[in-house]
Chain A
Amino acid sequence: MTTAAWMEALLAAPLAGAVIALISGRRAAALVGVVTAFATAAASIALAFAVSRSGVLRYAVGGWGRPLGIDLYVDGLAAVMVAITGVVGACISVCAAGYFAPKPTHADLPSDKHDRAWLYWPLWLMLWGGMNALYLSADLFNIYVTQELIGLSGIGLIALAGGSAISAALRYLLLALAGSLLYIVGVELLYAGYATLDLQQLRDRIDANPSTFAAAALMTAGLLAKSALFPLHFWLPPAHGHAPVPVSAALSALVIKTGFYLVVRLWLHVLPGLAWAHLATLLGVLGAAAVFWGGVQALMQERLKMMVAYSTVAQVGYLFMLFPVASVPEALPGALLLAASHAAAKAALFMCAGSVLAVYGHDRIRSINGIGTRMPLTAVAFALSGISLIGLPPSGGFAGKWLLISAAFAAGAWWWAAIIVLGGLLSAVYLLRALAFAFLEPPIAGFGRAPWGMEATSLVLAFIAVGLNFAARPLSELLNAGAG
């Protein structure tokens, strides 16, 4: 099959799966969901191979072509993001199949929720389809619609947890809506200026004037709010901390990356013509602030899930340190490798927290003694994903940080490198604190049994996070295949 066929499949399959899951209802939704998940994941990997073989592709949906119609566009960057989503998404689906099974086994999902648990599947598949559509889109307004698709399904998924997740979902909704509106104002300004919504055409036509700067600033502000970059991170910990475990994993690992991707796309590919050194520095400074603020907050958390959620605030910060050093060729592969390993490690950590919740009935860090002996798989998964988040070798986190640090030195800006190293130390402190309690003996007499699906998936994801250590070279090649 060709690149175009894989793109069609990646758009249509999750959406078709979602509507089939919706219609088939409680009994068959999970089956439809898992089958669709594996098919979509396979297509994501196939797309990456197709792009590395035959390069970028532009695809005119409806046959009209830009500027009248909507074009899809896949290059190395988009293919990498789709592939990350595919692999991690498949793992999350396996975990969810156990989590949302008809038998109520989880402390954080009240039993009266279980007659509605099947709604997870249409919502999650829509979310996935929205992410694929976002990464593959080359049209500013189409990207807005995909963001709304992602936002609304994410909100529905958070609300599945009920209770205090409702106000978290409402806060997330208001913020996402405000962010979308700022984005749309930017789209209006760009359409007024250049009479096109196509990213490539905008790149060719763009010139520096106040209106273009305002558009860029508004769209960036809207996207930063959605990617929870400090100081717009406040909505993330409650939303990701209170959602059901597979939802937290999907939101923290995958959805956050869509905002980051769009900022990269916008500034590196659409607006490279604007002189934006100051803004790049600002993004880097905010990223550095996020690393420290998120790290310190994570250290102060009492609950494991909240700690993992605050760790996302910090990890988002590293990604944005790409921008001040983006002119160095190693920087983008470094940031993407960090994004990929964070996706795998963070999904794994949320699942570890979920396993702990299932066994202990709570996730208070001070009383999780004995995980090491009672749940060895979870303990190993926790430790391995921790290694990647801290950035110790060998792991994807290490390889990504290494590339970013070399980029910082190549750009003559050693201070970014220093912040990356210090941030790694900070994450080491909060992760080791939790691990220390986990290995304390004796184990507290517990009640539940570890859900094997969740434990096994977290281990697989943790191994992926570690294995990404060796992905730097193929990733750079894929990005270059896209550029060439």
Chain B
Amino acid sequence: MTADAAALDILLAVLLVFLVWRLLTLSDLFKATILFIVFGLLLSLAWVRLRAPDVALAEAAIGSGVTGALVLDALRRLGAHGAVDEARPLRLNLARLSGGLLVACLGAILLWSVLSLPAGWRGLSAEAMAAMPHSGVTNPVTASLLNFRSHDTLLEIAVLMLAVLGVWTLDAEPKPSAEPAGPILDLLVRILLPLMVVVAGYLLWAGGHAPGGAFQGAAVLAAGGILLHLARPFYLGNHVIIRLVIGFGFAVFLAIGVMLVVGGGRFLEFPSRHAGTLILVVEAAATISIALILLALFVGNVREGAGRDAP
């Protein structure tokens, strides 16, 4: 490795830690949130440096993008009064001191575990590479997510559905004051929206052999929806069509898993000849559902004419 690259790594690492410190101590939560989004983008850069482009895409799209949009939206709805945190996190007392000591001990042990790891650590990379020819795809991360550890991913899509169900159980929120979208936002929507649909489709298709896949594609689609929502606010509700689309990806995934059992295999055991096709079907269905789920999480439980006003 060249000295330049090492310097870049150290700089990025220090910057990340500094951002964390700043955003946890700033009293203005709006500024802290902006730093949080910047932190997410820099984190994607770190993932690239660590040769994890799939994680980088997921971080930029979901970890930083969708989460950032959600936090900013929540701040807007809390208003100026709710967005200030007058508590000073650095004023020490006995409880904080002991908490700090405990955390410092934890840090020391974690650091020890990082530094004491043998240089030849291999993990499961050899096993994964040996299994790749039977996985139906050529991107090892997609193979891990949708084939080797497909059970995790199935349950993960269930978790996504649960988040929407949880939001739906809450009382409807008052409609935010609708400001007419400016011409720039309008133009942006017109240009970006079709582009985003194309990019999402590309990411979905590319996932089999290159960085990309259902989650990243879905996040891009959802971002398009969020942009549209910002320009012309709409309400999703929980009508049967919405529920159908939200449940669709999970239902397809589960149904394929069960049908493989009925066909004499094990749960979620993709026959290696059809694995590629099955994974693409699952991913396509999941992309649509996840995109709508992320959008529903952003739009929240706003209903026209419903809800009390915020104090």
Q: Please say whether the chains A and B touch (CB closer than 8 A).
A: yes
Q: What is the interface of chain A, defined by CB distance below 8 A to chain B?
A: 4, 8, 11-12, 15-16, 18-19, 22-23, 25, 59-64, 67-70, 112, 116, 119, 122-123, 126, 129-130, 133, 141-142, 145-146, 148-149, 152-153, 155-157, 159-160, 162, 166, 185, 189, 191-193, 195-196, 210-211, 214, 218
Contacts of B192 in A (CB 8 A): none
B247: CB under 8 A from chain A? Answer: yes
B150: CB under 8 A from chain A? Answer: yes
Contacts of B128 in A (CB 8 A): 68
Find out whether the CB atom of B162 lies under 8 angstroms from the CB atom of A156: yes
Contacts of A152 in B (CB 8 A): 159, 162-163, 166
A-B contact count (CB 8 A): 153
Within 8 A of A (CB), among B166-212: 166, 168-171
Q: Given A69-B149, A149-B159, A156 and B171 touching (CB < 8 A)?
A: no
Q: How far is the CA of A4 from the CA of B261 in the complex (A)?
A: 10
Contacts of A160 in B (CB 8 A): 169
Q: Given A62-B268, A210-B112, A116 and B169 touching (CB < 8 A)?
A: yes
B311: CB under 8 A from chain A? Answer: no
Contacts of B250 in A (CB 8 A): 15, 19
Q: Given A62-B150, A119-B165, A68 and B159 touching (CB < 8 A)?
A: no
Min distance, Cβ B97 to any Cβ of chain A, angstroms:
18
Listed by A's residue number, 19 A-B pairs whose Cβ atoms lie within 8 Å are A12-B257, A15-B250, A19-B161, A19-B251, A23-B244, A61-B268, A62-B268, A62-B270, A64-B147, A112-B171, A130-B155, A142-B149, A149-B155, A149-B158, A152-B163, A156-B165, A162-B170, A210-B113, A214-B109
B269: CB under 8 A from chain A? Answer: yes
Q: How far is the CA of A2 from the CA of B311 in the complex (A)?
A: 59
Min distance, Cβ A180 to any Cβ of chain B, angstroms:
11
Q: What is the interface of chain B, defined by CB distance below 8 A to chain A?
A: 106, 109-110, 112-113, 116-117, 121-124, 127-128, 131, 147-152, 155-156, 158-159, 161-163, 165-166, 168-171, 238, 240, 243-244, 246-247, 250-251, 254, 257-258, 261, 265-270
Closest 9 pairs (CB-CB, A-B): A156-B166, A63-B269, A211-B113, A152-B162, A214-B109, A62-B268, A61-B151, A19-B247, A145-B155
Q: How far is the CA of A193 from the CA of B243 in the complex (A)?
A: 43
Q: Given A68-B127, A68-B131, A145 and B269 touching (CB < 8 A)?
A: no
Contacts of A145 in B (CB 8 A): 152, 155-156, 159
Q: Given A68-B124, A155-B166, A22 and B247 touching (CB < 8 A)?
A: yes
Please name the residue on chain B nearest to A163 by beta carbon: B171
Find out whether the CB atom of A211 lies under 8 angstroms from the CB atom of B158: no
Contact residue among A130, A156, A189 (Cβ-Cβ distance under 8 Å from B169)? A156
Find out whether the CB atom of B152 lies under 8 angstroms from the CB atom of A192: no
Contacts of A59 in B (CB 8 A): 266-267
Find out whether the CB atom of B162 lies under 8 angstroms from the CB atom of A153: yes
Q: How far is the CA of A12 from the CA of B109 in the complex (A)?
A: 40
Majority-rule SS of B interface residues: helix
Contacts of A210 in B (CB 8 A): 109, 112-113
Please name the residue on chain B nearest to A169 by beta carbon: B166
Contacts of B244 in A (CB 8 A): 23
Contacts of B170 in A (CB 8 A): 159, 162, 166
Q: How far is the CA of A162 from the CA of B257 in the complex (A)?
A: 36
Contacts of A22 in B (CB 8 A): 161, 165, 243, 246-247
Contact residue among A16, A122, A142 (Cβ-Cβ distance under 8 Å from B151)? A142
Q: Given A68-B124, A153-B162, A214-B106, A119 and B148 touching (CB < 8 A)?
A: no
Q: Given A62-B268, A116-B168, A126 and B158 touching (CB < 8 A)?
A: yes
Contacts of B261 in A (CB 8 A): 8, 12
Find out whether the CB atom of A62 lies under 8 angstroms from the CB atom of B266: yes
Find out whether the CB atom of A61 lies under 8 angstroms from the CB atom of B254: no
Q: Which of A4, A15, A16, A196 has the most C-beta atoms of chain B within 10 angstroms of its own C-beta?
A: A15
Q: Given A22-B247, A68-B131, A149-B158, A192 and B267 touching (CB < 8 A)?
A: no
Q: How far is the CA of A130 from the CA of B162 in the complex (A)?
A: 11
Contact residue among B131, B240, B243 (Cβ-Cβ distance under 8 Å from A64)? B131
Q: How far is the CA of A145 from the CA of B113 in the complex (A)?
A: 24
Find out whether the CB atom of B162 lies under 8 angstroms from the CB atom of A126: yes
Min distance, Cβ B249 to any Cβ of chain A, angstroms:
10
Q: How far is the CA of A25 from the CA of B168 in the complex (A)?
A: 13
Min distance, Cβ B35 to any Cβ of chain A, angstroms:
20
Q: How far is the CA of A148 from the CA of B122 in the complex (A)?
A: 29
Q: How far is the CA of A163 from the CA of B189 in the complex (A)?
A: 38
Contacts of A8 in B (CB 8 A): 258, 261, 267
